[in-house]
Structure 1
Amino acid sequence: MTGLNRRSVIALGGAGLTQYILQAAVAPPEAVASTARNGISVSEQLLTSLQSTTDALRQADASHGSGNLARAAIAHLKVLLRFLKEGDFNEATGKRLAAVTADTAIQTGWYHFDSGAHTVAHNLLVGALRAAHASGDSRLRAGALSFIAIHGYSVGDPRDAVTAARTARQVIADQDAPALNAMLLTRQARGHARLREDGQARTALEEAQALCARGEDDPHWLYWINPSEIMGQTGSCLLDLGRPNQAAQAFADARNAFSPYEIRTRAQFLSRAPTAQMRAGNVGRICHRTRSPRSRLHSPLRTLGRQPRHDARRGPPLLLGDSRPGAFGAWSGRHGGTRRMKRTILVLWDIDRTLVYTGDIDRRVYKETFTSVIGRSPIALPARGTGVTMPLAVRELLRVNQVPEQDVETFAARIVDELPERLASHRELLFNDGVIMPGAMDALAAVQQAEHLIPTVVTGNLQGSAETKLSALGLIDHLDTTIGGYASDDPHRPALVRIAQKRATAKHGYSFNRDNTVIVGDSLEDVRTGLEGGARVIAVASGTTTEQQLRAAGAHHVLADLTSTTSLLRLIDQDEAL
C-alpha cells in the first residue's frame, strides 16, 4: 500500500505533531492499496471479524478495566498492522482495514493512557490519526484528534489540545454533527483554560452549550454529551483558571443535573468539588460534599463507546488533596509531602528477559553497528541473556572478531555511541516483535501505585537503548528512568546500584542502602549486581537461568515469573524488614 506507509503507522510524534494535525484537515485521504504479492487475502468477512474483536474489547472495558485490556488490544493491533503490511487487498478494502486499525489504535491508546502509560498512548493516538486519515472517515479522524486533545491538556502541551480540537472541527465541517462539535469545543476549552486563556475558554464553552443537540451525522457512541456534561467541563475550566468558587458551583450544578442513573458520572464531579472547595477556602463544606455511597466510585463511566475507570474525556480526576489539576500519574510530588505507614523502598528493575523479550533485535543491532564502524560483517555475536553490560559486550564482540587489541577501545567507543540511535531506528520492529514478559505490566503497575515504593531501572543497557525498549513496548511510564543506573554510567554493573541510589536520594530526599533497596532481575549478573552493589535480590526465573541456579548464586528470593503481584509486593516489603 502507498501513502499510509505500512512501516510508520505508529511512528509520528514530537515536533511534527502540530504540523501533522493541521495536515489532517486539508490533505486528501491517502491511497490504500496493497503492493504485497501472495499475501493473506483481506476479505470483507475477515474485516467484519476483526471489527467484532475491536468492538468486544470496547465492551469489555466496562468490566475488566483498561489496564487489563491493554495487552490484548496491543496483540489485536499487531494483527491489523501485519495485515496492512503483508495483506492482499484492493483500495476499498484497504480503507476499511485502515478504519478498523484506527478504531483499534484509539482504544489501545486510551487503555494505555488510563493505565498511566502516557508516552505510548500518545504514539498510539498519533498512529490512529494517520490510519483514520487513510480510511477517509472524517469522524474517526475527529475521534483520534479528540483523544490527542485530552492527552494535551492532561499531561502534555495544552496548545496541542487546542490545535487538535480546532482541527477536528474543521475535519467534520461538512457534517451535521452538533453534538460532536460540542464535545470538541469542550476539549478546546480545556486547553485554553490550562493556558489561562480565559476569554477563549469561555467562548468555546458557550458555543458548546448552544450546539448541544443531536444531528443526523453524530456518531452513535457520542450519546453522553449533554448540558450537564458541558457544565462539568466548565467547572474543570474554572478550576484551571483559578476561580475555585465558581468551579465549585459549576460542579454542584452539573452533579445535580445528571439523572439518578448516571451514578458514576455524578460521583466524578462529586470528587472534583472538594478540590474547588479547598482552593476556595471552604474546608467545612468538603466532608458534606464528598459523603456518597462507595458504590458510586466503582460504577462505569461513559467515553468513546467504552467504559473507563475514570472519565478522561473530562481530564484526570481531581481528588481531595490533589492540588495539581491534570496531574495524572506524574512523578513530581508522588513521593513528597505524603504521610506513609511504610518505609520508602527503591525498586530497581532489570529490563531484558525480566520485563521484556526482544528476541534477536539486540544482536541485529550489534551486527549492523559493527559492520558500520569496522567495515565488515562480524563472524560471531554476543551471547544471549547473559546480563553483561553493553560496553563489555562490545569489547568482547571486537576481540572475538579479531579486531587488533590496540584498536579495541577506540572502536568500542564509536560502537557504544551509535548503538542507541541504531536501536531507535528499529522501534517498529520492537513494537511488532517485542514481547512483554508474563505478569510484567501488572507487576510494574502495582509497584508504581504503591506509595512507599519508587520504581526505576538498573540495566546492562545504555540509557538510550533502555528507554527505547521500554517506550516501544509501553512500559516506560511505570518507571522513573531519570534516576536509573545504566551501562552508559559505568560498565561495571554492581556500580549501577549506588548510582541509582544516589540519584533517588537527590530527587526524593531519602537515604537508600541495602536495607531499603531491592533489585528484580532474571540473570546471574542481576544477582551479582545486587549482592555486590548493595541491594536485596528478588530473582525471576524468566530468562535463561534456572530457579536453582539463581538460589545458588545467592538471590534472597526467587520467583518463577511475575504473574503474582501479591507475592512480589510481599517479598519487596519482606526485604524491608530483613
Structure 2
Amino acid sequence: MATGADLRALREEAGISLARMAGRTHFTKSHLSMIETGKRSIAAEVISAYEQALGKPLTPPQDDPVRLAHEWLVSTSPMAVQTRSGRTVGASLASELEARVVELRHLDDTVSSEQLGPVIAKELSEAENLVRCANFTEPVGKRLFTAVGELSQLAGWVASDAGRYRQAQRLYLSGVAAANEAHDRVLGAQLLSSLSYQIANVGKPADAALLARTAVQGAQEATPVVRALFLERAAWAAAKAGKSEATWRALDQVDDSYERRGAGEPEWVYWLNRTEIDVMAGRCMIELGRPREAEPLLSAAIASYPPEHAREVALYRSWLAESYARAGDLDAAREALDSAKRYGSEMPSVRSDTRFETVEQLLST
C-alpha cells in the first residue's frame, strides 16, 4: 500500500503542485498535505484519486494480494450489474461467482482480516442480494446458494479472526440457511464445524464439542479430507474440554480419514494437509499437558510452512513457544515468541495477539 511519502514523491515527480492535485482530486489542499506528511491515514478513495490524476497505479503490481483486495473492494461486481439489469441469471454468472469465492478464499492466506473483511462483506452482500432479487433455474440456484454459504463461512472466519465473535456466529448461521437452500449438508456441517472451533476458543468447550460432533454425524457423505477437518475440530473441542480419551480417539480418526483421501474433494478444504494435521495434534498435546511431545510436531510443521502465510506462521510459532514454556525451557519459549511476534506484525490478527498474551502470561508466572 502506498504511503503518504510515496504520494508526495510521485506527485512531485509528475511536476504537480499540491494545490493542483487538490483541484484534480477534489480533496482540500490541507487534507492532502496531512496525508502526504503522515498525519492522516490514507483512505482507498484517495489512492484512487491520485491514480486517476497521475495516470498510473500507485500500489503494488496486480499480482500483489493486497492490491487485488483493494481493487476488488472499489470495483462493481458482475452480480451487482446483473441484479440491476433484471435479466435471468445463467450458469455463466454462477461460474464467475464460484471463481470469485475461490480467489477470495486464497487471499485469506496472505491478506489480513482487517483488509480482506470489507471485501468479503461486499461480495457476500451482493451475492445475497442476487439470490433474493434475480431469476434463475433450480440448478443455477443451487450453485448460487452454495456460493453464498461458502462466502458466509469465509466472512465468519475472517470476522472471528478479527475478534468480532457475535458477528461471526451470525454469519456462520446465515450460511447454514444458504447451505440448506442448496441442499448441501456437507457445507452446512462445515459452517457448524467452523462455529464449534470459535466456541471452543472463546466460549464453552462442552458446547463446542457437542456442535463439532453434530457436524461430524450430520455429514456422513463427506469426503475423506472434509471428514478429517470436522474430526480435527472435534478433537480440539474435546481437548479444550479436558476430555483426553475423546481427543485421542478423534485424532486417530483424523489420520484414518486423511489416509483415504483421493479425488473429488471440495475446493474449500484445499489447505488441510499433513502439516496442518500435525499442528492440531501438537496443540491438543499441549492442551492436555504433554508439551514435550508437541514440540517435534510443531517444529517440523513450522519448518515446512510458507513464510508468506505470516498469520499462520505467527500462530504456530506461538504454540511452539507455549510448548517450550510448559516444558520449562523458558529461553527457547521467549525466542519462539519473539519470532512469532515478528511474523504477527506482518499480518495482524486478534487471534495472534491473544495467543501472544497467553504465552507472555506463562512466561511471567
Give the superposition deviation at 1:66. 1.7
CA contact (8 A) 1:158 1:192 kept: yes
Equivalent of residue 249 in structure 1, options 272, 290, 293: 293
- Secondary structure (helix, strand or coil) at the match of 2:299 reads helix
Larger-Rg structure: 1
Corresponding residue number in structure 2 for 1:348? none
Aligned-partner Cα distance in 1 for 2:179–2:353: 26
Aligned: 1:105 with 2:152: yes
1:166 corresponding residue in structure 2: 213
> Match of 1:53?
100
Partner of 2:245: 199
What's the counterpart of residue 153 of structure 1?
200
User: Displacement, 1:218?
Assistant: 2.4
Contact 1:311 1:317 in 2 (8 A): yes
Map of 2:173 onto structure 1: 126
| Counterpart pick for 1:142 among 182, 189, 213 | 189
Q: Deviations over 1:475-514 (max 9, x none)?
A: xxxxxxxxxxxxxxxxxxxxxxxxxxxxxxxxxxxxxxxx
Who is 2:48 aligned against? none
Deviation at 1:292, TM superposition (A): 4.4
In structure 2, C-alpha distance between the alignment counterparts of 1:128 and 1:324, rounded to whole Å = 36
Q: TM-score, normalised by structure 2?
A: 0.65
Matched-pair contact (CA < 8 Å) for 1:232–1:251: no
- Residues 184 and 286 of structure 1: is their aligned pair in 2 closer, same or farther, counting only changes over 3 Å? same
Contact 2:291 2:326 in 1 (8 A): no
Provide the residue aligned with 1:41 in structure 2: 88
CA distance in 2, matches of 1:196, 1:183: 20
Counterpart-to-counterpart distance in 2, 1:109 and 1:196? 26
What is the letter of the counterpart of residue 318 of structure 1?
Answer: R
TM-score by length of 1: 0.43
Match of 2:272 in 1: 225
Superimposed CA distance per residue, residues 355-389 of structure 1 (whole angstroms, 9 cap, x where no aligned partner)? xxxxxxxxxxxxxxxxxxxxxxxxxxxxxxxxxxx
> C-alpha deviations, 1:454-490, integer Å up to 9, x for none?
xxxxxxxxxxxxxxxxxxxxxxxxxxxxxxxxxxxxx
User: CA 1:100–1:268 in structure 2 vs 1: closer, same or farther (change >3 Å)?
Assistant: same
Kindly report the root-mean-square deviation, in angstroms, between the aligned alpha carbons of the 2 structures. 3.3
Looking at structure 2, the residues matched to 191 and 231 of structure 1 have their Cα atoms a distance apart, in angstroms, of: 16
For residue 315 of structure 2, what is the amino acid of its counterpart? Q
**Offset of 1:227 from its aligned partner?**
3.8
Report the residue type matching 1:197 in the other structure. Answer: K
1:82 aligned residue (124, 129, 136): 129
Q: For residue 189 of structure 1, what is the aligned residue in structure 2?
A: 235
Aligned to 2:324: 277
1:121 to partner: Cα distance:
0.7
Whether 2:114 is the aligned partner of 1:67: answer yes
| Aligned mates of 1:217, 1:316 — CA distance in 2 | 36
Unaligned runs of 5+ in 1: 1-37, 300-307, 326-336, 338-578
* Structure 1 position 319 matched with structure 2 position 356: yes
Letter in 2 for 1:139: V
User: Quick one: distance in 1 between partners of 2:349 and 2:292?
Assistant: 20
Amino acid aligned to 1:52: A
Equivalent position of 1:260 in the other structure: 304
- Determine the structure 1 residue equivalent to 2:285: 238
CA shift, 1:145, in A, is 2.3
SS in 2 for 1:64: coil
Q: Tell me: CA distance 1:155–1:324, structure 2 relative to 1, closer, same or farther (3 Å).
A: farther
Q: What amino acid does structure 1 have at the position aligned with 2:249?
A: T
Q: Percent identity of the aligned residues?
A: 25
Which residue does the alignment assign to 2:44?
Answer: none
Counterpart residue identity of residue 109, structure 1 = G
Question: How far off its partner does 1:153 sit?
Answer: 0.8
Instruction: Please give the residue correspondences for 1:250-399 in structure 2 after superposition, counting only pairs within 5 Å.
Output: 250-257=294-301, 260-263=304-307, 264=309, 265=312, 268-290=315-337, 292=339, 296-297=343-344, 318-319=355-356, 321-322=358-359
Q: Distance in 2 between matches of 1:85 and 1:188?
A: 34
How far residue 75 of structure 1 moved from its aligned partner, in angstroms, is 2.1
Contact 1:44 1:93 in 2 (8 A): yes
- Contact 1:251 1:269 (C-alpha < 8 Å) held by counterparts: no
Q: Name the CA distance, whole Å, in 2 between partners of 1:320 and 1:105.
A: 29
Task: Give runs of aligned pairs for residues 496-575 of structure 1, distance below 5 A.
Answer: none
Partners in 1 of 2:319 and 2:272 — Cα distance? Answer: 19
Q: In the TM superposition, what whole-angstrom CA distance separates every residue of 1:51-89 from its partner, at most 9, and x where no partner exists?
A: 333333334334432212222222222222222222222
Distance 2:91 2:210 in 1: 35
Map Cα deviations across residues 209-246 of structure 1 (whole Å, 9 max, x no partner): 232222333223434434442232123223333x1xx2
Q: Determine if contact 1:231/1:251 at 8 Å carries over to the other structure.
A: no
Deviates more, 1:153-162 or 1:129-138: 153-162
The aligned residue for residue 224 of structure 2 is: 178
Instruction: State the partner residue of 2:58.
Output: none
Give CA deviations for 1:429-474 in whole Å, capped at 9, x if unaligned.
xxxxxxxxxxxxxxxxxxxxxxxxxxxxxxxxxxxxxxxxxxxxxx
CA distance in 1, matches of 2:329, 2:280: 21
